[in-house]
Structure 1
Amino acid sequence: MTDKVSGKRRRTFMKTVAGSSLALLAGCGGGGGSSDDGSLTYVYPGYFSEDASDLVPMFEKQSDSISVESQQTPSDASSTREYYVNQFISGASSFDVGNMDVIWPAEFAGNGWAAEVSDPEGHTDNMLPTPVDSVTVDGTMYGMPIHTDANALYYRTDLLEDAGYDSPPETYMELVNMAQDIKQQSDQDLNGYIWQGGSNEGLTIMWLNWLWGMGGSIRQDGNLVVNSEEGIAALQHAVDLIHEYNVTPESIPASSTDQNRQTFQQGNTIFMRNWPYAVALMNEDGSAVKDKFEVAPMPKAEGHPDANNSCLGGWNLFINANANKPEAAQQFANYMASMEAQKNMALEHSRLPVRKELYSDEYYEQAPHLETFANIVDQTSARPATPNYSTFSEIVYTNCNAALVQDKSPEQALNDAQEEIDSEVNNA
């Protein structure tokens, strides 16, 4: 069990529940709270707000007797996890069910924070195996998969076409050269390539994208190793995108995933790395890029055309071990795995469903992104499965961010990270 938080990385875990942890939340629905009969409290990150606005009423309609009070955390996973950890440490039961990132099940189960989830209706029999495996710890399910994820390259079809390009870049330097050329040809002030560079989980994923695309790995002899030749080269490439090639704006080290989406959607960006959810939002009426973008696999380093360098993502529902309404929470989890809920997420919100039935020609015609991302999912790698993953990631993104703002060289940043990882993760 890994219920301790190491001294160096304790950060803000012990904030009081009445203070900053509750300040993370914004109430989004009425139900009367989890202490009332027939109601439960559901917490989800901001990225899921559009989905929840559909799914919560759909569940309430079919359940008849259960109402849901929805509460929203910020969009980024790190802030959502911080809220949960504050709740768990205090033993609070202020929520019953919540969204759980694909990297958290081992930690949440190992610490006794997540309750066992059952599947009496056999929904998982019809799911992709990887999402189910991600919530299964020592043979027990501690979450219900609701959508999977794979990050990809978004690009402006109109800008590429105007500049004489008929396909997106396939390698790192093709992207750099193409972005520089399009920027030079355009009379607009364009961003070349935006990606998540803020000091949070998204930057760890970006670094892994580049590392994997160079043929690198972070597993060596059972340990996590970040300061390999490929690891340093990956971070150097990120720094060069900003400070050498001038295709990534200097504001990127303070950016988040949805900030990137909003920037791209304003119409002044050529390339962006993002997740499937952005498709539906950017194709809404009023979007400056509606019908002007497409999605492609992540570029890879020269000489590594078969690298699996998209990051496998996804989210699950988990039941708080201290839930006031565990049975209602279980019903909600089962509903989110149903075809009705899965179709809504896939067709209305461009999520990648976990149910296999939705990956078929019938649904590809309704939502072409499903077919596009089905191919990208085949080019994914998973983040390391360890109960100490959050500690590992914080060490990585903190040091990588220092390199992006040139407080450290890439080599020094990853050497410093490795020293902490050896102390707090490999030898924990």
Structure 2
Amino acid sequence: MRFDDDLSAWVAQQRWYAGKSHDPRFRVLDARPAPGGATTYLLMDDAGALPTLYNVPLAEVNEPPAEGVVTTTDDGRHVVDATRHPAFTVGLLAEMGVDTSRVTGSRVLTGEQSNTSIVYDVDGSPAIILKLFRTLHHGENPDVTVQRVLSDAGSPYVPQFYGSADAEWPDIGRESGSAHGTLGFAQEFLPGVRDGWAIALDAAREGRDFTDAARDLGVAVAGVHGALSDALESMDAAAEQLEAVGRAWRRRLAIASAEVPAVADRLAAIDALYAEALDRPWPRLQRIHGDLHLGQVLAVPHGGWRIVDFEGEPLRPMAERAIPDLPPRDVAGMLRSFDYAGAVGAGPDAAAWAASCREAFLSAYETAPGAIELDPALLRALVLDKAVYESIYEARNRPDWLPVPLAGIDAALS
């Protein structure tokens, strides 16, 4: 009982634990041997609105690491987070089919919110990064599916994919009695990178031109869209899919109108633009990034952009993230991200800075290989939907930031 209590208490304190709005109620759904003599515990938290399954590998050691100690056994050994135990981390990498003969060390990256990332040194230099998914879902994680096919296609806009590991666990809700999903995957580690948000924010704050970077980013996004269209399923949008998108737009608009008076004042104009977009020809639906913004792109020194984190919107069910979607949704997300960088940077003439970035990104995307044709009305509707969602978030969490999405709504309407 002490082990269960200590494990539950430790999990509830981790940054990747997603149930901080409720008191957890954990039970061990499964426990199985893991590399390096570790044990992978699958913990189900039944207390939230939806049950959540957590991936918690543990190892017993004599000498505890500086962080990650879960409990101490009666005989004085320490139960620790196995991501800090080299025998487990290197063994897991080997299980993914990666050659570990030249691996000389591993370490956990700090700052992760929902997963755990482990960096491996090869011949003394960081070369591989493994993302361990902490919450498990039935089906292959979209991050794995998309990065694998892009890497296999030779795309220069994603890190090279090396391998992944899967697991199976009991699931009485399925006819087969079990579910299976992705534990994690390994890919190329890119030293010296900075994320696009940090770079754009510095440029916006100082009023420096960012249009060359925005153009390169437009080319990268178009290239990824083209490669995904070639490699994975695409389809024409059926009437029921258009109706579902329209319902989602209007549901968010109704929530925003009820909570943000400025959105309510613009409701009729926004709804009219939605109606126009729903009447226009749509591009084929395909796999996309799904949650694209400046924080999801990495600038490689003298190496251009890499796009990462293809898991899609974190709040959408995993099965929905794999459904073919509208490529302009990614474009809209990046346009809104430029607006946020300009506003948060608060440099000289922030609005003009953001507008120049949007124009450069769009013009480059539209003329780059792989680009999907952008219908202006549909793109405006997607930008509006994103800004409407942002207005809800800001009104609830950061009221001082509410002018940012409201300015985006006015710009799209004009």
TM-score interval w.r.t. the shorter chain? Answer: under 0.3
TM-score under structure 2 length normalisation: 0.28
Q: Give the number of the structure whose residues are more often strand, by fraction.
A: 2
TM-score, with length taken from structure 1: 0.27
User: Larger relative CO (CA 8 A, sep 6+): 1 or 2?
Assistant: 1
